[in-house]
Amino acid sequence: MASMAERPDLKVDLGRGLHLRSPVIVASGTFGYGFDAPQVDRAALGAIVSKGTTLRPHEGNAPIRIAETPSGMLNAIGLQNPGVDHVAHVYAPQWATWDLPVIVNVAGDSVDEYVAVARRLNGVPGVAGLELNISCPNVQSGLQFGVDPVLAAEVTHAVRAVTELPLIVKLTPNVTDIVAVARAVEDAGADAVSAINTYVGMAIDVRRRRPIISRGSGGLSGAAIKPLALHAVWQLAAEVHIPVVGVGGIMTPGDALEFLLAGATAVQLGTVNYVRPQAAAEIHDGIAAYMVQHGLTDMRALPIRSVSVLTHV
């Protein structure tokens, strides 16, 4: 019979009753609405975060939408989604039959739109939580909420007022002080933050003399951004009192462990889902093996906050 040390408990708590069986979550925009990617082992996952969902359907941006860059990829999908009514009517009833929580990523270009989407999803069976996308760099007005602590707090507070669901706010890294935005959304009622969304970047086709992405810029994801994301999580975990979900360039079990040691309560996998559908299971098992190896029985024992580092150079 396996001892506790051999079967570590990977459960995590993101607040307001959102208990996950695993700290491994698939990130918004990399797993659709959970109906594709049959190659991914669902048993390894703690939750799915849906594609960004808006009040009305969006067709998305004109091609070209993606480009590979060194150890990363740019995307400017443009929030292509079927709209919240379709999600609530068609997808959520199916999610309600799953043993895997689905968190709906909510996007909008006004406080009213965020509120309308959140209101529509409140109390809908199958919807386990909301992740507020205040950082999508692809729709012009989307950026504004996430870069300003006051606006970020305003939209968080407004959504908080109309939903009882666990509320995660996904932070943009395209700011001077991500901690200030995180504190503001914590005070406004967020149950957790996820950090980080993509960095704005671009690539130019020198032969055709124009940006590769049709919109010019896109969001950079993948291994290229991992050290940047990790630093954001390290800062946030020390400064906010709500769970931090680490996301950005996680490709391997070792990457995920870095985020968990830095203070993340859970991690989200994004770009790696496109490349290695088996990564979720490998990362889940790698975390479990690490726990065993280090004699840890609880995920809360992982962060290394007590380690002293030079914070100013």
Catalytic residues: 136
- Minimum Å gap between C-beta 30 and other proteins is 6
CB 130 within 8 A of CB 165: yes
Please give the backbone phi and psi of residue 193, each rounded to the nearest 5 degrees, phi first.
-125, 150
Task: Scan for tokens 């360039």, then name that residue.
Answer: 249
CB 217 within 8 A of CB 76: yes
Cβ proximity to other proteins, 53 vs 156, nearer residue: 53
- Minimum Å gap between C-beta 140 and other proteins is 19
Cβ proximity to other proteins, 15 vs 32, nearer residue: 32
- Minimum Å gap between C-beta 213 and other proteins is 10
- Minimum Å gap between C-beta 31 and other proteins is 6
Cβ proximity to other proteins, 161 vs 275, nearer residue: 275
Cβ proximity to other proteins, 61 vs 156, nearer residue: 61
Q: What whole-number distance in Å separates Cα of residue 262 and Cα of residue 194?
A: 14
Q: What whole-number distance in Å separates Cα of residue 77 and Cα of residue 21?
A: 31
* CA distances for 209 relative to 168, 204, 205, 206, angstroms: 41, 7, 6, 5
User: Using N-to-C axis directions, what is the helix angle for 178-187 and 149-160, rounded to 10°?
Assistant: 30
For 129, the 3-state DSSP assignment is strand
- Minimum Å gap between C-beta 252 and other proteins is 13
Cβ proximity to other proteins, 54 vs 163, nearer residue: 54
73: region left, alpha or beta (phi > 0 left; psi from -120 to 50 alpha): beta
Cβ proximity to other proteins, 122 vs 214, nearer residue: 214
Query: What tokens appear for 282 in the block?
Result: 């490998």
248: region left, alpha or beta (phi > 0 left; psi from -120 to 50 alpha): left
Q: What whole-number distance in Å separates Cα of residue 32 and Cα of residue 50?
A: 6
- Minimum Å gap between C-beta 29 and other proteins is 7
Q: Which residues bind other proteins (CB under 8 A)?
A: 29-32, 36-39, 51, 59-68, 70-73, 75, 77, 80, 214, 222-223, 271, 273-278
For 178, the 3-state DSSP assignment is helix
